[in-house]
């Protein structure tokens, strides 16, 4: 019987609670109806695990945006584009309203109707015509619809640890300009300091294939020829073999690559920021993330161009980030998301006042301003932007001079057009074979992987 009394009591409480919440909901609804309708959007913010200062700087930007746009409510959502989580979140419908994707995926996602058609919203941006046409093309689908707006562009570069260079008896102002010199420097760093002279990504998340493609391009080869379904996988080109032979020598003959052969993008940054790596290849903008996530000591950082072979095809692999809006967004949400993209990512490039306000906020939170980028706008606009933020630059630009001086004279190679990420994924195991198995045969490995690459192109993924 005691059970019954208790049950009745809790039933009464539940009814009371339901009545109270019903009144509360009704009250909230009437308040919302009374004022202007609020559009709620969630936006991709920083990488998970970012520092408090970086998060504070981001939240300050949200506050400023909401003040300027009273009808919009923005929720920040930590975000990192990863092939595995992106596909899962897309299928589950849990991506924020606005998110970012790499250049490799914008067009294909648009073709699959998985992104909001931003054409009219993008074209109404007053500076739309000032975008670098090659860059805006990355976010335009087969029907000519703008499905993603570029926000950053980078070129692959060689990050190097100036402190380890000095400790190894090398000149930190004279980073390697040839692959032979890079090999020799890596060996010297490894022998003199005990740290890895050079590391290369070797994880099974497409990063190993990405960097192999970068080195192959730098030597003048290509992993793919042609575009779309007619593209051909050309893994077994002489430059790819050369790139793997260089890796083979550093790994097994020179033993200058340390002991961790399974590094990915994030773990490479961690190891470098911890002072355990002499040199590694990643995007030219990777310094920003190493400040925001890995607490790098700016004094150790150096940025140089990737050594290019002396042939006309040799170039630097480029890439970038696109902003996109969920296909499930309402028109009001899409308009609000483009306003946010305009405010957070683009205004600083086109508006002096915003550029300075942005730079001031970032500097106040000790966030990097002035990390080298490849322009997403035309050259004139880029020069203007650089002049606006010049007084606020807080990254060690002098230490990045080897890169910034050289990059504008170098050929930027776009990423393989067809099935980009899948092609990188197919090359992952080739790189891993060289890194984990002594005496592997690069030519045979590439020849064996080529049909898999061709199959990836055929399936479009």
Q: Is 380 exposed, middle or buried (0-12, 13-18, 19+ CB in 10 A)?
A: exposed
Up-side HSE of residue 302: CA atoms within 13 Å toward CB? 22
Tell me the closest approach of the beta carbon of residue 106 to other proteins, in angstroms.
10
Name which position in 27, 262, 298, 391 contacts other proteins (CB under 8 A): 262
The gap between the terminal CA atoms of the chain, to the nearest Å, is: 65
Q: What's the helix, strand, coil split of the chain in %, to 5?
A: 55, 15, 30
Q: Is 422 in the site for other proteins (CB under 8 A)?
A: yes
Interface residue with other proteins, options 58, 86, 179, 235 (CB under 8 A): 86
Q: Near other proteins by CB under 8 A, which window of 256-264, 300-308, 366-374, 377-385?
A: 256-264
How far is 367 from 398, CA to CA, in rounded Å? 17
Alpha helices, DSSP H, located in 299-419 = 331-340, 347-350, 352-364, 379-389, 401-407
Q: Is 81 in the site for other proteins (CB under 8 A)?
A: yes
Residues 6+ apart with CB under 8 A from 25: none
Does 425 interact with other proteins (rule: CB under 8 A)? yes
Fill in the DSSP letter of residue 290. H
Out of 30, 259, 409, 439, the only residue in the binding site for other proteins (CB under 8 A) is 259
Minimal distance in Å, beta carbon 367 to other proteins? 28
90 part of the interface to other proteins, by CB under 8 A = yes
112 binds other proteins (CB under 8 A): yes
The owner of tokens 């648009």 is: 110
Scanning the structure block, which residue is given the tokens 């199959």? 455
Alpha helices in 112-206 (DSSP H): 119-123, 133-137, 162-167, 179-193
Would you say 373 or 415 has its CB closer to other proteins?
415
Q: Which residues contact 259 (CB under 8 A, 6 or more apart)?
A: 196
The answer to the question of residue 212 lying near other proteins (CB under 8 A) is no
Q: According to CB under 8 A, which one of 7, 38, 87, 134 is a site residue for other proteins? A: 87
CB of 69 to other proteins, least distance (A): 29
CA–CA dist 447, 25 (Å, integer): 65
Could you give the 3-state DSSP secondary structure of residue 79? coil
Residue 105 interacting with other proteins (CB under 8 A): yes
Single out the segment in contact with other proteins by CB under 8 A; choices: 292-300, 304-312, 359-367, 425-433: 425-433
Which of 141-149, 174-182, 199-207, 285-293 is the region at the interface with other proteins (rule: CB under 8 A)? 199-207
| Residue closer to other proteins (CB basis): 298 or 451 | 451
- Closest to other proteins by CB, 175 or 202: 202
Instruction: Annotate 236-249 with three-state secondary structure.
Output: CCHHHHHHHHHHHH
Shortest distance (Å) from residue 73 CB to other proteins: 26
Kindly list the residues in this chain that would bind other proteins in the complex (CB under 8 A). Answer: 81, 83-88, 90-91, 101, 105, 108-109, 112-114, 202-205, 258-262, 327, 419, 421-422, 425, 428-430, 432-433, 435-437, 452, 459-461
């Amino acid at each position: 019987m005691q059970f019954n009394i208790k049950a009745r009591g809790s039933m009464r409480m539940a009814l009371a609670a339901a009545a109270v919440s019903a009144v509360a909901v009704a009250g909230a609804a009437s308040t919302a109806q009374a004022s202007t309708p609020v559009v709620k959007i969630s936006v991709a913010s920083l990488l998970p695990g970012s520092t408090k200062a970086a998060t504070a700087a981001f939240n300050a930007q949200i506050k400023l945006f909401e003040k300027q746009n009273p009808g919009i409510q923005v929720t920040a959502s930590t975000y990192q584009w990863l092939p595995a989580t992106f596909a899962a979140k897309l299928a589950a419908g849990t991506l924020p309203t606005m998110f970012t994707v790499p250049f490799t995926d914008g067009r294909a996602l648009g073709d699959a109707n998985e992104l909001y058609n931003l054409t009219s919203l993008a074209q109404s941006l007053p500076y739309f015509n000032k975008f670098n046409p090659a860059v805006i093309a990355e976010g335009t689908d087969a029907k000519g619809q703008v499905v993603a707006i570029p926000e950053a562009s980078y070129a692959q570069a060689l990050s190097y640890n100036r402190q380890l260079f000095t400790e190894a008896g090398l000149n930190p102002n004279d980073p390697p300009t040839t692959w032979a010199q890079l090999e020799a420097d890596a060996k010297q760093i490894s022998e003199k300091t005990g740290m890895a002279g050079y590391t290369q990504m070797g994880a099974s998340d497409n990063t190993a294939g990405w960097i192999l493609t970068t080195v192959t391009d730098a030597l003048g080869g290509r992993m793919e020829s042609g575009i779309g379904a007619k593209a051909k996988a050309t893994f077994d080109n002489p430059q790819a073999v050369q790139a793997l032979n260089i890796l083979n020598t550093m790994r097994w003959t020179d033993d200058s690559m340390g002991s961790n052969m399974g590094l990915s993008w994030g773990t490479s940054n961690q190891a470098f920021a911890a002072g355990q790596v002499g040199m590694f290849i990643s995007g030219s903008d990777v310094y920003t993330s190493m400040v925001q996530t890995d607490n790098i000591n700016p004094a150790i950082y150096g940025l140089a161009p990737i050594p290019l072979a002396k042939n006309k095809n040799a170039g630097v692999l480029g890439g970038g980030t696109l902003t996109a809006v969920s296909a499930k967004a309402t028109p009001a949400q899409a308009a609000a998301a483009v306003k946010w993209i305009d405010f957070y990512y683009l205004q600083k490039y086109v508006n002096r006042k915003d550029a300075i306000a942005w730079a001031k906020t970032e500097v106040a939170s000790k966030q990097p301003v002035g990390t080298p980028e490849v322009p997403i706008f035309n050259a004139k606009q880029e020069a203007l932007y650089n002049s606006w933020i010049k007084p606020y630059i807080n990254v060690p630009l002098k230490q990045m001079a080897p890169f910034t001086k050289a990059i504008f004279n170098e050929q930027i190679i776009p990423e393989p057009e067809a099935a980009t990420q899948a092609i990188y994924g197919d090359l992952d195991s080739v790189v891993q074979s060289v890194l984990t198995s002594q005496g592997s045969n690069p030519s045979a490995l590439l020849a064996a992987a080529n049909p898999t690459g061709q199959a990836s192109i055929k399936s479009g993924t």
